[in-house]
Structure 1
Amino acid sequence: MSDYLPEEVVLEILHRLPVKSLIRFRCVSKSWNSLITSSLFINSHLTRSLSLPSNSNKLIVGHCFDNPLVEHYKLIDDNNDSFDQIQNIELPLMSRRIQYFLLIGSVNGLFCLYDDQERYILWNPSIRKFITLPKPCTTFDAHGSYIGCCRQAFGFDPRTNDYKVVRIAFPSRINMSEEAKPPLIEVYSLNEGCWRITSASFPPGIAFTDWRQPATSLNGAVHFAAGYEYKPGGPCEPLVLSFDLRDEVFHVISLPNGTFKWTKSVHTSVIGGSLSVLFYCSKHAYNWCCAIWVMKEYGVVDSWTKQFTVDLNGGEIKRVLGLQKNGNILVQTNVGGPYLCELSSYDPKSKQVKNLGIGGRSYHFHVDNYIENLGLLDKPNDNSFLKESEQEEEMQNH
C-alpha cells in the first residue's frame, strides 16, 4: 500500500485502525513496526481515540472472588442495558506472595497494580502487556520506621503525554509526643522510567478519608478525598486534595460550604467527564444514602451541583461505582454476608435495582471506561509475573 499512497495518507489510515489490527500490522514491514511502536504514533493514536464517541460505549469491570482470592476483569457494552454480551479479559500475571493485586488506579485503559512486596505493575489489557516498575526510593528497608503508610495514585498528564505513579509516604510515630515529620512525596514517570522524591510540600493538617478507594485522575492531576484533621473546636468540613502531575504541587479544592460533614465515607470519582464526590450520609437512623456531587466547571467551587441521591435501601446497596449511558447508576449490592456482593444497575427514577450477574468480594469492584490504547507497546516485555500458561504462550510466539 505504501508504494501507491503518500506517506501522510498511510499514516492517517493507520491512526484510524483499532489496536488489534495495528498489533498485527507490525509484521508487514520493519518500517511499519518502527512507526506503530514509536511513542509519537502511540500518543497521537490515543489522542484520536479519546475524541471518538464510540470509545465511551465500553466499560471494564474488575472484581475479585474468595477461595481462591483472585481478581477477574470483564469487558461490557454500555449500550446494551441487559449486559448479555460480556467478554472476559484474563489478567496474565500473578502476585508472588498473594493471589491478588491492589488496584492503585486506571486511566486511558491502563491499570496500575501493587502487591505486598512493594512492586508496581502497569498493565494494558488492549495489547496484553505489562511492565514491572523499579522499586521506589522510599522503601521500608531504606527508610526504616519512617514509612508508616502510603497513599498512592495513578494518573495521566495530557500536557506531557506521561503516566505517573504518586506515593505519599507518611512516617510512623512511635512516640506520639514527638512532632510528626512531613510525608515524602515520590513520583514515578513512565517517560523518564524512574522514581524520584520531589520537593512537593504536603499541606499541613490534612488527612485522607478514602484510603480504600483509588484516587481519581482528571485534567493532568490526581484527586483524593480529604479533610482537615480534628481540632479542639470540632472537625472541619471535608475537601478534595489534588496533586498536579506536571508541576508536582498540591492544591486544595473546596466543597460547597456547609453541605458536607466530616466522614470517612467520602471518595472522588469522574462522572460524565467531570470531577465528582460520592458522599455517604444518613437521612435519619438506619436510612443511608449516597449523594453524588459533580463539579460542572473544573476548579470553580460554585459549580458544584448535586446530581443524584442513591437510597442505599437499608444496606442492600453497598457502594456506588459509576454512571451508565442510559442514566442508571452502577452499584455494588449485598447478596449475603459481608464479602458476597454483585454488580447491579440502579434506576434513580424508579429506585429499582437490577442484578447484572457479576459477583465478587466487597470493596474489590472497580468500573471504568474502557479505551483501546497502545500504551506500553514501546516498552520491553516483562515475563517476571507471567502465569505458567502465559509463559508457555510467550515462548511459542518467539
Structure 2
Amino acid sequence: MSASEKTTLPLHLHLLPQDILFEILSKLPAKSLVRLRCVSKFFSALIADHAFGVLHRSLSFKLPSRAGILMAIIPRTPLSSAPVYYTINNFSEETLQANRLDYLDADEPFPKGCLHSSSDGLICLSKPNGDVVVCNVSTGQRVSLPRFQFNSPHRTQICSLLGFDSQSKRYKVLMIDRRRSIFEYKHWVLTVGVDKSWREINYSSHPFSPFDGFGCVGQSDTSVHIDGVIYFYNWLTKDDPPSFHIVAFDVGSESYSLIPIPPEVTSSSRVHCIGKTYCCSDFVFKNFALLQVDGGRLAIVYVRKRDQQFYMDVWILEKSKGCWEKITTKIPFNLRVEQSTKYRYTTNHAGEVVLLGKNNKQFIIFVCNLKSKTWRKFDIGGVKEFPICLLAEVRMYKTMDNVFFIE
C-alpha cells in the first residue's frame, strides 16, 4: 500500500491489524460495503479480499437479519411475464413481511422460466436466446456473461446452474443444452470473470439432465449447491427396471458422479428410460425437492398424504456412512389447498425446511425443524397486488447477504 493511499484513510485505520479491520467490516451489510468500497483503494482491496468474503458470508449464515428466502413470482397477466422478486428475512414474527426487490426487475425484464439456480445469495438467469446473467440479490450487481451460442439447428431448452469453486475462488456456471432428442444433451461451463466463451466438457455416456421427461426444465427445487458441488435430480436412466440417481457436479474439477436414490423413493416415481417410459405417479412433479439441511447435508424432501393426513419424509445423505437416513414428521396443518399444484421448498438460515403454500388470498409458509419435528405456520404480508399465479410459476431459494464481487 502506498503512503498516499494510507494518508487518505480516516482515523488512521491503516494502523489497525487486518484481522481487526475484517472483524469490524464484517458487521456491515453488503450494501454498505459496496458504498465503502468506493471510498479508497485500501477499502476496495480489503473488502474484495477472498478471506474477508468468507468471514462475511459465515456471519451472514448465522444472522437471521442477513439470511432469508428469495421468492420470484411470475404474474399471469397479459401485459408481462417478468418475475417480481421478494425477500423474507425475519422468521420470529407471526406474519412474515415480504420485501420487494425493485432493483432486480427495474431494468430489462426477464422472461418466464429463466431462473434455475441460486448460490450464496447469487442467482443465475438465462434467456431462450442464450443470454445469461448472474445477479447479487443483496447489492443488485449484475454481470452479463458471454452469450451462449447454439451450435445445433435444433435448439430447444437450456438450463444454467451456478456454483462456487473454492480453489480458484471463482463462480462457475454449468450450462446444460437439450438438443433435438430428449436424450441428447451437451454440457458447457463458463468461469465468471475469466472465460470469454463457453467451454464444452466431457461427461459419462450416461445422459444427465435436469429436464423432466416431457422436455421441461425440472423445478427449481430439484437442484441445490452445497460446498462446491451442484446436485440435481437426473430425469433419465438407461436401466430396466429403472433406477434413479442424483447427479453431483464438482464445480472445481468439472466432473460428475452419481448418488443412488433410496429405493423407496424411486418405487413411487415417474421415470424415463431410453426407448420407453414408466409412469407410476406424479410424485416427482408435485412434491419432490433437493435441499441443503442443517449441517450442510444433502436431503431429499417429499410431502405425501395418507388417510387425510399429510406427512413429510426427509432422506438425509450421511456421507461418512455412505447411506441415507430417513426422518418422517406429521404435518399439523391442513394442506388441502395445495393438492392440485406443486409445492415449493427451501431452507432458512437455521437449516429448517420451508414449505410454501398459497390460497386465494395470500401465500403461506410452513417451517419444520427436523431435530424437534416441530412446525410453525406464517402468513406472508407485503406482497402488493397479489399476483394471479400458480405455485408452478414461483421460484423460492435460500438467500443471504453476499459481499463477493462477481466481475
Is the TM value for this pair above 0.5? Answer: yes
| From 234, 237, 260, the counterpart of 1:254 | 260
2:125 paired with 1:123: no
2:396 paired with 1:367: yes
- What's the counterpart of residue 202 of structure 2? 200
* 1:187-226 equivalent positions in 2, closer than 5 A: 187-204=189-206, 208=210, 209=212, 211-213=218-220, 215-226=223-234
Shift of 1:44: 1.7
- What's the counterpart of residue 335 of structure 1? 359
2:56 paired with 1:49: yes
Q: What is the rounded CA distance, in whole Å, between the counterparts of 2:96 and 2:304 in structure 1?
A: 34
Shift of 1:129: 1.2
- What's the counterpart of residue 365 of structure 2? 344
Q: Is the 8 A contact 1:49 1:371 kept in 2?
A: no
- What's the counterpart of residue 150 of structure 1? 158
Relative to the length of structure 2, the TM-score reads 0.74
Shift of 1:88: 2.6
* CA distance 1:251–1:127, shift in 2 (3 Å): same
Shift of 1:5: 1.9
Shift of 1:133: 0.8
Shift of 1:134: 0.8
Q: What fraction of aligned residue pairs are identical, expressed as a percent?
A: 15
Q: What is the rounded CA distance, in whole Å, between the counterparts of 1:291 and 1:16 in structure 2?
A: 37
| From 43, 66, 82, the counterpart of 2:94 | 82
Aligned residue pairs, count? 357
Shift of 1:187: 0.4
* CA distance 1:169–1:23, shift in 2 (3 Å): closer
Q: Is the 8 A contact 1:335 1:342 kept in 2?
A: yes
Q: Is the 8 A contact 1:78 1:324 kept in 2?
A: no
2:243 paired with 1:237: yes
* CA distance 1:322–1:312, shift in 2 (3 Å): farther
Amino acid at match of 1:368: Y
RMSD after superposition: 3.5
- What's the counterpart of residue 103 of structure 1? 115
Shift of 1:132: 0.9
- Post-superposition Cα deviations, 1:266-312, rounded to whole Å, max 9, x if no partner, equal 3322122221112355647x8775532222x3475424333546587
SS at match of 2:126: strand
2:91 paired with 1:62: no
Shift of 1:12: 3.0
- Post-superposition Cα deviations, 1:33-70, rounded to whole Å, max 9, x if no partner, equal 3443x4xx1x2222112322534553132131332433
Q: What is the rounded CA distance, in whole Å, between the counterparts of 2:158 and 2:96 in structure 1?
A: 39
SS at match of 2:148: coil
Q: What is the rounded CA distance, in whole Å, between the counterparts of 1:312 and 1:200 in structure 2?
A: 47
2:326 paired with 1:305: yes
- Post-superposition Cα deviations, 1:357-398, rounded to whole Å, max 9, x if no partner, equal 355532233333332222236x3xxxxxxxxxxxxxxxxxxx
| From 276, 289, 301, the counterpart of 1:278 | 301
Q: What is the rounded CA distance, in whole Å, between the counterparts of 2:102 and 2:298 in structure 1?
A: 30
- Post-superposition Cα deviations, 1:330-377, rounded to whole Å, max 9, x if no partner, equal 3232424xxx87232256868785432355532233333332222236
- What's the counterpart of residue 35 of structure 2? 24
Q: What is the rounded CA distance, in whole Å, between the counterparts of 1:87 and 1:121 in structure 2?
A: 22
- What's the counterpart of residue 291 of structure 2? 269
Amino acid at match of 1:292: V
Q: What is the rounded CA distance, in whole Å, between the counterparts of 1:195 and 1:309 in structure 2?
A: 49
Q: What is the rounded CA distance, in whole Å, between the counterparts of 2:205 and 2:337 in structure 1?
A: 36
Shift of 1:220: 1.1
Q: What is the rounded CA distance, in whole Å, between the counterparts of 2:228 and 2:122 in structure 1?
A: 15
Q: Which runs of 5+ in 2 are unaligned?
A: 1-10, 271-283
2:358 paired with 1:356: no
Q: What is the rounded CA distance, in whole Å, between the counterparts of 1:258 and 1:342 in structure 2?
A: 31
* CA distance 1:84–1:205, shift in 2 (3 Å): closer
Shift of 1:78: 3.5
- What's the counterpart of residue 291 of structure 1? 313
Shift of 1:223: 0.8
Q: What is the rounded CA distance, in whole Å, between the counterparts of 2:97 and 2:305 in structure 1?
A: 37
* CA distance 1:95–1:250, shift in 2 (3 Å): farther
Q: What is the rounded CA distance, in whole Å, between the counterparts of 1:207 and 1:299 in structure 2?
A: 27
Q: What is the rounded CA distance, in whole Å, between the counterparts of 2:13 and 2:253 in structure 1?
A: 45
User: Please, which moves more after superposition, 71-80 or 124-133?
Assistant: 71-80
Q: What is the rounded CA distance, in whole Å, between the counterparts of 1:71 and 1:332 in structure 2?
A: 17
SS at match of 2:234: strand
Q: Which runs of 5+ in 1 are unaligned?
A: 380-398
Q: Is the 8 A contact 1:332 1:341 kept in 2?
A: no
Shift of 1:92: 3.8
Relative to the length of structure 1, the TM-score reads 0.75
User: Please, which moves more after superposition, 53-62 or 125-134?
Assistant: 53-62
